[in-house]
Chain A
Amino acid sequence: MSRLLAILGLLLLPWALAQRLVVAQGTDPTTLDAPLATDSPSATVVTHISETLFELTPEGKIVPHLAEGHSFADGGRTLTIRLRRGISFHDGTPFNAEAVKFNLERLVSRELASPFAFLLSELERVEVVDSHTVRLRLKNPFAPLLAHLTHSSTAMQSPTAIGRLGAQYRDNPVGTGPYRFQAWQKGQFVDLVRNENYWGPKPPTPQVRFIPVPEGTTRVALVETGQAHVAVRIPPQDIARLQANRAVQVVRTPSLRTIYIYFNTQRPPFNDVRVRQALNHALNREEILQFVLGGIGRVSDAPIAPGIFGYTPVGRYEYNPQRAQELLRQAGVSTPLRVTLHCPTGRYFQDIQVCEAIQGQLRRIGVEASIQTMEWGAYLQETQRPLKENRIQMAMLGWGTVTGDADYGLYPLFHSSQWAPGFNRAFYKNPEVDKLLAQARISTLPQGRQALYKEAMARIWQDAPWIFLHSEAQVTAIRQEVQGFLVHPTERYLAYRASFR
């Protein structure tokens, strides 16, 4: 028996010795070509290899990265970007204005059909001013563009490599980033090595490996045994056990995804703002957060989550059943009020369970909600029908402001030009809000935009087209010996400042 164990030990030795950082993600990346990387595991790996012109800090600030500076002109119709000098891609191709033009034009090209082409939908053309200056001409003034240029799909990739490899580029990415691509064994691992010529601060850890582990409990076991240093998306039932483990730290990071229940604001009973406010007052969100979500998440105090440019807390609907009942009485609603609440199952963290808790809480103010569920594909179809055909009274949905800019978290959802089949499924319309959101697209001063969004969100909050619920959080397990590993609110996991103690 002991001999058998010794042999096994020898077999296990290779991975025990390797001093590289191992990150267990939920799935394998699907592609390492930035504009096509739609899922978090792909975007995570891409971010280590290829960098964007601007960066969204975890606090929601937009800072220049491959860019050195920028200026808007022509009433916001022109954006001039100065680029950092002396940077090359991993294959030696210089990073310059031509490379930027190439990458931005590629992202919007019809042949590529990137799901993120919409980020640059206002882009008319890219001009090379000199070797390290580009000018973006826009169809309309569009201030959120800066935030959009922090999105991983706009990352700069070597034009030479793309030209040489064609479609095979997805398996051999070449960027300017702190790590270079080394190997990808499909379904098993992606290996990255430190870029020794990196223009910025060099990452302390020489090698990083990403492994796909679909089962949450298995990811936990990997971190417990030290076979992985980081495990993403820890299942709620494993959190308590991990917290008791001294070798592992459990890190909670807010995500940019907001969960809400929207009303059809054009039809009774929810065309009356008092009824909508009443339902907002009827919920004990802290209770839901603690007992249904296991404390993973954050009660909303604005229609968008912190970490997004433009976020400011605008209020709280305090839990007050008496006030709720009073509002219902004022609105002339006779109880019990029977409504149908549509709810997805398994799409968002504990979604149906949250709906059931809400059902129970609404009953206390005399609102009888019957819950209806659907398969996700059908659910999307039903909720985005135009007003005439739309039968939904109220439904739960989530919105991830993937661009990191309030425009994307508010304009598609609350501007009256965006009614379903657009994303404004609540059929919300407030001319004041329309005006503010449109202005915030044109105003190019960050402070000015902040103020406009604050005003718009305060009105939306009052109008209550949604039951504002919570924003999701990501729970990550990180070995105690690792420090500096960053979990970004955009659901990217960043190893370039991580080191071993």
Chain B
Amino acid sequence: MTAYLLRRILIALPTLLGVVVLVFLMVRLAPGDPAVLLAGEFATPETLEAIRARYGLDRGLPEQFLIYLEALLRGDLGESARSRRPVLEELKTYFPNTLELASAAILVAVLTGIPLGVLAALRPGSGLDLSVMVLALLGVSMPVFWFGLLAILIFSVGLGWFPVAGKGTLAHLVLPAITLGINATALLARMTRGTLLEVLSQDYIRTARAKGLAERVVIFKHALRNALIPVVTVVGLEFGTLLSGAVITETIFAWPGLGQLLVGSILARDYPVVQGAVLLVAISFVLINLLVDLLYAAIDPRVRYD
């Protein structure tokens, strides 16, 4: 187990280095002079020169990269070109909010998606099954943008149940969490239904029923526990997707998360912040993957890592 863990972490390192290189190149190879974009269209040549010197843009790409990497190893992510704050400070401000929103969204997805999937699987072909599956199809295919704005118009403007946007009370969290979680909810419902149906057709379920166990025990103890193993994997991976995919939801609901920071920084060519934010998301993704793998071993005794 320990050896496996070490190996996984070692594999993650080149992945992260790849991300660092990619992000570094992507922001720099985009067309346009970054100094002009940072200084604004009205800047004088002197201002441009000062800006270039301040952010090391007057050096060659390889040199810029080495400087960046060396600072990175010291835990220094640089300074935001817009606010001139340390990037780490910016990330610390915004990332917890994204974490909060993504956690709420995955909670919504698990608490509604899995029960709906179970209900559908218990009565395959019924009207209930059909409506759950149609809802799931809608949930997967609805654009987040459209769903979010509609939710605001109906539940905030029309009915006045929830605040329109921002962060503060628990009520502020409801609409963005549902909006962000809607795709994952639908995915989990379909997935749960599928795997549960498959498990229910297995021999050991027939055996369990044959030996006279109550249907409740058959479903929840024997069938569901097995059916949920792949679902757990998907929950983990979805969580990673939600962290990076919160951008649109955060924009609509003015949620003060990483997405809001990232969009503003991309538009303003704030390289250090873009690099830092993408790196953070990539690291989270790698970590979550690792966690899912470990969790897999914990819930399925057949899985052993040697």
Q: Which A residues are within 8 Å of any B CB, using their own CB?
A: 5, 8, 11-12, 14-15, 27-28, 30-31, 36, 38, 110, 113-115, 117-118, 121, 167, 170, 185-189, 211-215, 217-218, 221-222, 224-225, 227, 374-381, 402
The answer, among B85, B251, B254, B264, for a CB contact under 8 Å with A211, is: B254
B165 an interface residue at 8 Å Cβ cutoff?
yes
| Residues 147-162 of B contacting A (Cβ, < 8 Å) | 149, 152-153, 156-157, 160-162
8 new A-B contacts, CB < 8 A, other than A170-B84, A381-B36, are A113-B47, A113-B54, A115-B43, A170-B83, A187-B260, A218-B165, A222-B165, A377-B269
Cβ–Cβ contact B31 & A377, under 8 A? yes
**Which residues of chain A have C-beta atoms less than 8 A from B157's C-beta?**
221, 224-225
Most chain B CB within a 10 A radius of its CB, from A28, A167, A186, A189: A186
* B30 pairs with A186, CB closer than 8 A: no
With both beta carbons as reference points, the residue of chain B lying nearest to A379 in the complex is identified as: B32
Total inter-chain residue pairs, C-beta < 8 Å: 139
B97 beta carbon closer than 8 Å to chain A: yes
Q: Is the CB of A211 within 8 A of B166?
A: yes
Contact of B31 among A36, A218, A378 (CB under 8 A): A378
Residues A12 and B169 in contact in the complex (CB < 8 Å), given A115-B40, A227-B163, A380-B41? yes
Task: Say whether B47 contacts A118, CB under 8 Å.
Answer: yes
Contact A380 B254 (CB under 8 A): no
Contact status of A117 and B33, CB under 8 A, knowing A11-B170, A212-B260, A227-B164: no
Contacts of A187 in B (CB 8 A): 93-94, 97, 256-257, 260-261
Given contacts A222-B164, A376-B32, A378-B32, contact A186 B37 (CB under 8 A): no
CA distance A271 to B302 in the complex (A): 81
CA distance A146 to B233 in the complex (A): 66
Q: Which residues of A contact B40 (CB under 8 A)?
A: 38, 115
B55 to chain A, nearest CB (A): 10
B217 vs chain A, min Cβ distance (A): 33
Q: Which residues of A contact B156 (CB under 8 A)?
A: 221, 225
Q: A12 touching B163 by the CB < 8 A rule?
A: yes
- CB contact under 8 A between A225 and B30, given known A31-B84, A214-B260: no
CB closest residue in chain B, given A113? B50
Cβ-defined contact, B31 with A213, below 8 A: no
Instruction: Select the residue from B30, B31, B97 with max chain A CB neighbours within 10 A.
Output: B31
Which residue of chain B lies nearest to A189 when distances are taken between CB atoms in the complex?
Answer: B166
The docked-state distance in angstroms from the alpha carbon of A215 to that of B234 is 31
A377 to B149, alpha carbons, bound, how many Å? 31
Q: State the CA gap A31–B33 with chains docked (Å).
A: 23
What's the least CB distance linking B244 to chain A, in Å?
Answer: 18
Any A CB within 8 A of the CB of B39? yes
Report A-chain residues with C-beta under 8 Å of the C-beta of B90. Answer: 186
- Sample of 16 A–B contacts (CB below 8 Å): A31-B82, A115-B43, A170-B83, A187-B94, A188-B167, A189-B166, A211-B166, A212-B256, A213-B165, A213-B254, A214-B251, A215-B251, A225-B164, A374-B31, A377-B33, A381-B31
The reply to whether the CB of B24 lies closer than 8 angstroms to some CB of chain A is no
What 6 A-B pairs have minimum CB-CB distances, sorted nearest first? A377-B32, A187-B256, A378-B31, A113-B50, A213-B254, A30-B82
Contacts of A12 in B (CB 8 A): 163, 169, 171
Q: Is B168 an interface residue (CB 8 A)?
A: yes
A186–B50 touching, CB < 8 Å: no
Q: Is B51 an interface residue (CB 8 A)?
A: yes
CB closest residue in chain B, given A408 = B42
A115 to B84, CA, bound (A): 13
Using CB atoms, name the residue of chain A closest to B51: A113
- The docked-state distance in angstroms from the alpha carbon of A153 to that of B182 is 45
In the complex with contacts A115-B39, A186-B94, A218-B260 CB distance below 8 A? no
Q: Which of A30, A212, A381 contacts B254 (CB 8 A)?
A: A212
Is B239 close to A, CB under 8 A? no
* B263 interfacial contact with A, CB 8 Å: yes
Complex CA distance for A402 and B168, rounded to whole angstroms: 36
Smallest Cβ-Cβ distance to A186: which chain B residue: B93
By a CB distance below 8 angstroms, the chain B residues around A225 are 156-157, 160, 164
Q: Which residue of B lies closest to A374 (CB)?
A: B31
Q: In this assembly, does B64 line the interface, its C-beta being within 8 Å of a C-beta of chain A?
A: no
A374 CB contacts on chain B under 8 angstroms: 31
Contact between B263 and A221, CB atoms less than 8 A apart: no
Contact with A along B11-50 (1 / 0, CB 8 A): 0000000000000000000111110110111111011001
| B271: Cβ under 8 A from any A Cβ | no
Return chain B residues, CB-CB under 8 Å to A28.
Answer: 256, 260, 264
CA distance A118 to B51 in the complex (A): 13
Is B50 a contact partner of A110 (Cβ separation < 8 A)? yes
Please indicate the chain B residues that have their CB under 8 angstroms from the CB of A217 in the complex. Answer: 149, 152
Cβ of A8 and Cβ of B251 under 8 Å apart? no
A242 to B216: give the CA distance in the assembly, Å.
Answer: 55
Answer whether residue B252 sits at the interface, using C-beta atoms and an 8 A cutoff. Answer: yes
Contact A214 B263 (CB under 8 A): yes
Q: How far is the CB of B42 from chain A (nearest CB, A)?
A: 7
CB distance from A423 to the nearest CB of B (A): 8
Structural contact, B43 and A118, CB atoms closer than 8 A: yes
Q: Once bound together, how far apart are the Cα atoms of A212 and B44, in whole Å? A: 30
Min CB–CB distance B299 → chain A (angstroms): 34
Chain B residues near A375: list those with CB within 8 A.
30-32
Q: Is the CB of A188 within 8 A of B166?
A: yes
**Nearest Cβ on chain A to B161's Cβ, whole angstroms:** 6
Q: Chain B nearest CB: distance from A144 CB in Å? A: 14
If A12-B171, A15-B163, A227-B164 touch, does A218 touch B84 (CB 8 Å cutoff)? no
| Minimum CB–CB distance for A403 against chain B, Å | 9
B34, B41, B51, B157, most chain A CB atoms within 10 A: B41
* Shortest distance between the CB of A124 and any CB in chain B (Å): 15
Contact in complex: B153, A221 (CB < 8 Å): yes
Residues of A within 8 A of B163 (CB): 12, 15, 227
On chain A, the residues within 8 Å of B260 by CB distance are 28, 187, 212, 214
Q: Shortest beta-carbon distance, B89 to chain A, in Å?
A: 9
**Complex partner residue of B256 from A38, A188, A218, CB under 8 angstroms:** A188
Q: Are B50 and A380 in contact (CB under 8 A)?
A: no
Contact with A along B260-283 (1 / 0, CB 8 A): 110110000100000000000000
Q: Smallest CB–CB gap between B157 and chain A, Å?
A: 5
- Residues 168-181 of B, flagged 1 when their CB comes within 8 A of A and 0 if not, give 11110000000000
Q: Tell me, in angstroms, the Cα distance from A12 to B90 when the chains sit together.
A: 28
- Are A402 and B42 touching (Cβ within 8 A)? yes
Return the contact of B36 from the options A31, A38, A221, A380 (Cβ within 8 A): A380
Contacts A8-B161, A377-B37; A15 near B83 (Cβ below 8 A): no
